[in-house]
Amino acid sequence: MKIIPAIDILSGKCVQLVQGKLESKKAYGDPITWVRKFQSLGAEIIHVVDLDAALGIGDNLKLIEKILKTTSCEIQVGGGLRSIERIEKLVTLGCSRVVIGTLAVRDYYENFKTLKKLNERVGKERIIAAIDSIDGKVAIKGWKEESELSTLEFMKKVERYVWGFLFTDIKVEGKMSGIRLKPIKEVIDSTSLPVIISGGISSIQDLESIKQLGAFAAVVGKALYEGKLQLRGFEI
């Protein structure tokens, strides 16, 4: 199972939030420095989130473009990707995969017309659907809104248009308190597509448990920056 370091960007800085709340932010410096460090330690994939775009308060497109030019790692980008044009721009710049959340949920109610276009224009192999979940429901708009849409129902309908899923358990995100196995197992068991797990991962035991459940990869953020999780490599 691959381990994917996370770089969440807010106002050009690398930060980590607890449950997506801005008031909980803690800064960790220059994103480019971290990209180089993770690559030097053997990371194959880096997960980049544009928090400004996700929250509708700006974007970090130029910095993401610089990241793409800086590294040979695969870069998957999420955060505020709510138009075909923005997604096409990132793919053109060299982004390996895009992670879409709000757009995919909105599209669920419109017969997936946007995802169908994206399949034609960038290919489904580049699209990851974000499953940002709280109590079995999908959250949207930078986790500021909770929808009435069931996580598993949404996955069932959207899977024909995407490469795989990124599942985040919002209840434990950023807390370094460990994972909740039940919702992770439900998500992995509900699909044959690759599932990447995020949220609360803080120990090798967490990673081993996720691997045993059959996840494709795990995204790790705060535990890396705080030195709580010491990795010898980015595969387990």
Q: Which residues are catalytic?
A: 8, 132
Residue 31 CA to residue 48 CA, distance in Å, equals: 9
Residue 42 CA to residue 167 CA, distance in Å, equals: 24
Residue 188 CA to residue 209 CA, distance in Å, equals: 12
CA-wise closest residue to 67 among 102, 100, 101, 43: 43
- Reported for 84-89, long-range contacts at CB under 8 A and 24+ positions apart, including other chains, are 84/114, 84/117, 84/118, 84/121, 87/118, 87/122, 88/121, 88/122, 89/61
- Strand locations in 95-171 (E): 97-100, 127-134, 137-140, 145-150, 164-169
Q: Torsion angle of alpha carbons 227, 230, 232, 234, nearest 10°? A: -80
